Homo-oligomer: A and B are copies of this chain.
């Protein structure tokens, strides 16, 4: 089966490297330069001290025609808008599309698409792009996937087909799946990015732990969570499991790149606003990050 992957950041390269062991993968890059690099060197996948090289076709995104049966959209949420426009304009909408964005802000964009089978995923791997054709897989976990609209048979088959090389977990219910990830992201990402600390520090430092508790209370109220203790437990566990990691937002801040704060906190602030709930803490964190971003020449 042919698989197209749009986006060659850390997640796009990670998926391309693993999926190419099973499928015929083409990765679509933003720049011609990156496509050339990948054509020349393949994708280097670093796993601890081990390096494997995957031969993967690469083309600039402008050459994308939607010819692959499955297209995986691995761009950041704030880059999604232009991709959605491209999908709308294509003659041949791919049969299956899997969206891997963080947050939940992208869901409303999906309703505009004419595709019959739209899937969403939540990536729990840790990955870092080291150069245009090299990705480090530094936290092996899984990718949760669920049907947003359409056929679950294909997604179940796909999950099974890749599972020997790259764990993927079929989830029945996309909303809860994305909400869990959103809450974890909202708690860990902005604080680690503002404080410039690793994930584990948030639970080790009693003052930061207090911040997590207060923040979680605000999120619980906004989302009307019914069993908050499950979400809380999950967030704390992820902080502990990934104690030595830099969160994706911290990495963005360190590299002075645009962050995903709109996809994560922006979504929650919109929800709060829509429901007439207060969100002073989330708002404080939101403006701290937005202000930081606006201090740089943002690289998107």
Contacts and interface: CB of A to CB of B under 8 A. Distances in A.
Contact of A295 (B205, B218, B278): B205
Interface stretch (A2-10, A120-128, A141-149, A206-214): A206-214
A193 to B, nearest CB: 12
Contacts of A290: 207
A288 interface: yes
Contacts of A211: 284, 287-288, 291
A109 interface: no
Nearest to A207: B291
A291 B287 CA distance: 20
Contacts of A205: 291, 294-295
A194 interface: yes
Residue in A206, A207, A283 whose Cβ sees the most chain B Cβ within 10 Å: A207
Nearest to A295: B205
Nearest to A217: B280
Interface string A185-203: 0000000001101000100
Contacts of A194: 194, 288
12 contacts: A195-B288, A195-B291, A195-B292, A201-B295, A205-B294, A207-B287, A210-B287, A211-B287, A211-B288, A214-B284, A218-B280, A284-B285
A interface residue count range (under 10 / 10 to 19 / 20 to 34 / 35 or more): 20 to 34
A213 to B, nearest CB: 10
Nearest to A213: B287
A21 interface: no
Nearest to A289: B207
A287 to B, nearest CB: 5
A281 interface: yes
Interface string A272-300: 00000010110111011011101100000
Interface string A59-76: 000000000000000000
Contact of A214 (B201, B218, B280, B294): B280
